[in-house]
Structure 1
Amino acid sequence: MSDAGGGGGKGGATGADWEETSPERLYVITGGRSGASAAAAALDLVTLIVARSGARPGMQPEHAAIVQLCQAPLSVAEISAYLGLPVSVVTVLLGDLIADNRVVARAPVPPARLPDRALIEAVIDGLQKL
């Protein structure tokens, strides 16, 4: 790639580095959308995403990357980290994939409730008597 942008952007960064982190790139990836769709509005950092199928030819590269990553459940935060994209951009992309029925969003499994203190004490008492 050539450095068509001139000065390279951030303090000595190459043209490729500047392109990867530029706001223009993020604008293009999301199609200029900054707000999440209704489907993506319910997503938070721990929502699990699972692909329904593999990537198909002609998909936007970022959509295809998400579908490939999510063959096993991944959280929105993990997807953002793996792709090196802001969570806000990832939620827009996930909204597209949810609308196209390419991925499913699932709430994370809630943590198990701890048994009450009386039950724990009764078990410990029983074990000590053995």
Structure 2
Amino acid sequence: MRPYTVSNGRTRPTTALDLLSQVMATGVTPLGYLGPEHTQALELCRAPVSVAEVAAHLKLPAAVTKVLLSDLVDCGALTTKPPEFYHNPTDRSLLEAVLDGLRRQL
């Protein structure tokens, strides 16, 4: 199935979601019809999980996944919180350590 079909042609979520945003099911049952992808996403969110992880499990593009998750947030079935950075993500020593690790993998 084409990704734009899954999101009903929508390309923008109504909720601001980052790839590292955490989403979690609230226990509220959504009213109305949800597609199978919505149901799968909701199942994946029983425990806090990142948007990127949900996209990977659903094998859907991140943009489509954000639309699906946004639908679930809008109906109260999911809650979201922004990513928490314990370190400065632009800290030079952190970036150099990541680069060094990547070089060793190649």
Q: TM-score, normalised by structure 2?
A: 0.72
Q: Classify the secondary structure of the residue corresponding to 2:38.
A: helix
Q: Distance in 2 between matches of 1:35 and 1:59?
A: 18
Q: 2:24 aligns with which of 50, 66, 70?
A: 50
Q: Distance in 2 between matches of 1:36 and 1:59?
A: 16
Amino acid at match of 2:4: Y
Question: Corresponding residue for 2:72?
Answer: 97
Q: Which runs of 5+ in 2 are unaligned?
A: 89-106
Q: RMSD across aligned C-alpha pairs, in angstroms?
A: 2.1
User: CA 1:49–1:99 in structure 2 vs 1: closer, same or farther (change >3 Å)?
Assistant: same
Question: Corresponding residue for 1:27?
Answer: 4
Correspondence 1:81-92 to 2 at 5 A? 81-92=56-67
Q: Which runs of 5+ in 1 are unaligned?
A: 1-18, 20-24, 114-130
Ranges of 4+ aligned residues in structure 1 off by more than 4 Å? 54-58
Instruction: Tell me the matched-pair count.
Output: 87
Instruction: Give the deviation of 1:110 after TM superposition.
Output: 3.1
Q: Distance in 1 between matches of 2:70 and 2:53?
A: 16
Deviations 1:22-73 (A, max 9, x none): xxx2121111111222x2xx21110000011276695311111111000000
Correspondence 1:1-130 to 2 at 5 A? 19=1, 25-37=2-14, 39=15, 42-53=16-27, 58-111=33-86
Instruction: Give the deviation of 1:108 after TM superposition.
Output: 2.6
Asked whether the 8 Å contact 1:46–1:75 carries over to 2, the reply is yes
Q: Classify the secondary structure of the residue corresponding to 2:72.
A: helix
Instruction: Give the deviation of 1:81 after TM superposition.
Output: 0.5
Identity %: 36
Q: Classify the secondary structure of the residue corresponding to 1:64.
A: helix
Deviations 1:82-102 (A, max 9, x none): 110000000111111111011
Name the structure, 1 or 2, with higher relative contact order (CA <8 Å, separation 6+).
2
User: CA 1:64–1:54 in structure 2 vs 1: closer, same or farther (change >3 Å)?
Assistant: farther
